[in-house]
Amino acid sequence: MSSAHTQQPIKALFVLDQVNRGGIEMQALDALRAARGSGLEITVVTTGGQLLSEFRSAGDVVVLNRRWPIDPGYASQIRRTVEERNCNIVQGHQAVDALHILLTTRRMPHVKRVLTIEGFIPDRKNRKALKLLIPRMDAVVFPSHALQSWVAQHDGLFPKGNAVVIANGTDPARLDVDRSDVRAELGISSDAFVIGMVGNFYRDPRKDHLTLIKSLPTILREHRDTHCLIVGGVEPGAEHKLNACKVFVQENGMDERVHFLGSRDDIPAILASLDLFVFSSLHEGGSPPIAVIEAMLLRVPVIISDIAPHIEYSSKADVSVLFKTGDETDLAVKVISMLSDRDRMSRSAERAYTYANENFTAVARLERFRKLYERLLAE
């Protein structure tokens, strides 16, 4: 690496088509905050979104106008920002970002292109676009080895020599919340057990709320004073998944014990109110998922389905309990066992906190990206 790179800050431009509430956006927001004093200068360009004011409070944000799915004018605006900020890294987070990065950086050989692939690539259009884009990126970043393998197997996308795995991370500073607010809102006593899951209802087979819901009758027979919080929005076309959960709750007389909270902007407070966090999932891109990291950093013990991305991080340390994916009986047994032993829950939560604090913070993640940027610029 040249001395110029060690003496001057690396200037990275993050392209985020929209900054709505989601895992990708929250990680970018955390990175923007964590960049202060890190040797990195990050600018975010976006067309706007729910989190725009938070992004502006965190750092340098430029709002641009994109009129078409592939818009040369939008790319020209990004290029001007790259030139004005003297950026030497441009990073996108989905196919539409990478397409405009490719247009932006033509005849700019000093600028390195980075693409993060965070999860599903569900449709043919994005699959075709990424087959074109991946070979033209200087680095393609996956949040887990499991996702990298899944994308290769199911989507035929094989990064040749430019693939990097960088685990997810979040900002612990966002998690300084009042643990009692959510219980008070829902009328749940301080000595009741509260378990819960955070995850949107998607059309694709991703989150598996119904397995958690089906485990509850068995759990409630053993621990009657238990409540379950289900938190997450509903993607258009996935309404039947939420309805199936609600019908099961009603048919089993659990209306007073199960709380469907919808999409919320106070996820840390909700997680902090839990005695046990359950993450029932069929497919995940990130390792660990953001909600799981936040639960661990809040010292909430975690039970997760035994899919590959979950095993990837949990196998390295005894930080979570695994249950058989889609098996409500096994999940109920694991939940009952945990709720019956508060000392075990406390020990599990403390191990998880220590592990997450060492490996899955926004600062740790940004340091891994900094090393990647240095390597790319030195080549």
Domain match, 152 and 177 both: no
Domain match, 161 and 196 both: no
When pLDDT is cut at 50, 70 and 90, the band that residue 179 belongs to is low
Domain match, 327 and 191 both: yes
Domain match, 162 and 42 both: yes
What's the number of domains the chain is made of? Answer: 2
CATH number of the structural domain spanning residue 343: 3.40.50.2000
pLDDT top residue among 118 and 301 = 301
Q: Please give the Cα distance from 360 to 24 (Å, whole number).
A: 15
Only one residue has tokens 């075990």, namely 344
Q: What percent of the chain has pLDDT over 70?
A: 96
When pLDDT is cut at 50, 70 and 90, the band that residue 167 belongs to is very high
Domain match, 323 and 373 both: no
When pLDDT is cut at 50, 70 and 90, the band that residue 3 belongs to is very low
- pLDDT above 80 (res 178): no
Q: Look at residue 317 in the predicted model and tell me its pLDDT.
A: 67
* pLDDT tens digits, one per residue of 236-273: 999 999 999 999 999 999 999 999 999 998 999 999 99
- pLDDT above 50 (res 297): yes
N-terminal to C-terminal alpha carbon distance within the chain: 8
* pLDDT tens digits, one per residue of 350-361: 999 999 999 999
Domain match, 40 and 13 both: yes
- pLDDT above 80 (res 33): yes
Helices (H), 267-341: 267-272, 290-297, 308-314, 328-339
90-to-154, 285, 290, 336 alpha-carbon distances in Å: 27, 22, 23, 48
Domain match, 131 and 176 both: no
When pLDDT is cut at 50, 70 and 90, the band that residue 2 belongs to is very low
- pLDDT above 60 (res 287): yes
Domain match, 114 and 186 both: no
Domain of residue 78: give its range: 3-170+361-378
Domain match, 302 and 239 both: yes
* pLDDT tens digits, one per residue of 325-377: 999 999 999 999 999 999 999 999 999 999 999 999 999 999 999 999 999 99
Q: Look at residue 316 in the predicted model and tell me its pLDDT.
A: 64
Beta bridge partners of 298: none
